[in-house]
A = this chain, B = another copy of it.
Amino acid sequence: MDLELRSLRYFAAVAEELHFGRAARRLHMTQPPLSRAIRQLEADLGVALFERSPSGVALTPVGVWFYQDARALLDQADRLRAKAAAAAGAATLTVGMLSDGSDADASRLVKAFRERHPHVDVQVREADLADPTCGLRSGLVDVALTHGPFDETGISVRRLRTDPVGAVLRSDDPLADRKVLRLAELADRRWFRLPESADPLWRAFWNATTPQGPMREGPIVRTVQECLQAVLWNGTIGLAPRVGALPPGLTFVPLADAPPTTVVVAWAGSRDDPLVRSFVRVAAQTYGAGTGS
């Protein structure tokens, strides 16, 4: 109804390409909605901007100067956004990550966020296994990309994804080539343990996932790396959400009867820093979006 920058962006693309199909590709969309949008723009203005003939598309006289003005407007808008981004640039955003960094979605996320706020200094901080909040409460990080469940008092959380939980085995383990395992099959193994100081809900979650039966307790691990090394050197079993890349010599096998974890982005409930909100927003649409909390 009212003039919007989107319409102008579309128009500019077509005006520059003089070809609806190519323009649509440049805009990362398909041709029909683009055609429709241009017609709507023309209807809105009450004037024809393009001369469509089967032998190509041409600008009408009105289209010519309209393009120049539109281009100027778009450039000005871009400068405005850049200026605002620069103003936010003084800030530093520290994001805590529980995952080992091999998560494809996570890297896409920080990449997307960095290119949206090029001037912001994004610090990524690997979290301690004992604290899934990555020190949110103490202010150590501004926002955490982590796994549930944990104590959420004073923390806002937005669910992003649900990951199946599986076992990390040495590749030469007799069970390592199985497609899927049940907990009972691993009942006689040694499992790593979380430190006593760990978040209660968090600890309870992983302990509940531990198979019943005569279980020999494995070493206490503090980081993801330690956990993986424990598997390699001690023959313990590691529990983990679905993992992207794993160091050589280790294999991930899904567990059929282990409750899944949820990947969440979390931030201190009191903070309403726009950068934090922006990060959450980008996260929500980088992942397949989820329902908030």
Contacts and interface: CB of A to CB of B under 8 A. Distances in A.
A8 to B, nearest CB: 8
Contacts of A274: 42-43, 45-48
Contact of A45 (B3, B44, B85): B85
Contacts of A77: 3, 73
A4 interface: yes
Contacts of A81: 3, 45
A46 B278 contact: yes
A85 B278 contact: no
A166 B69 CA distance: 53
B120 A46 contact: yes
Interface string A72-85: 11001100110111
A275 interface: yes
A232 interface: no
Interface residues of A, number: 43
B4 A46 contact: no
* Candidate in A40, A84, A273, A275 with the most chain B CB atoms within 10 angstroms: A84
A107 B73 CA distance: 35
A40 B281 CA distance: 9
Given A73-B73, A277-B39, A80 B46 contact: no
Contacts of A5: 2-5
A181 interface: no
A46 B3 contact: no
Nearest to A281: B43
B46 A85 contact: yes
Contacts of A42: 274, 277
11 contacts: A2-B6, A5-B5, A39-B277, A43-B280, A44-B281, A45-B81, A45-B274, A47-B85, A66-B84, A73-B73, A73-B80
Interface of A: 1-6, 9, 39-40, 42-48, 62, 66, 69-70, 72-73, 76-77, 80-81, 83-85, 87-88, 91, 116-117, 120, 273-275, 277-278, 280-281, 285
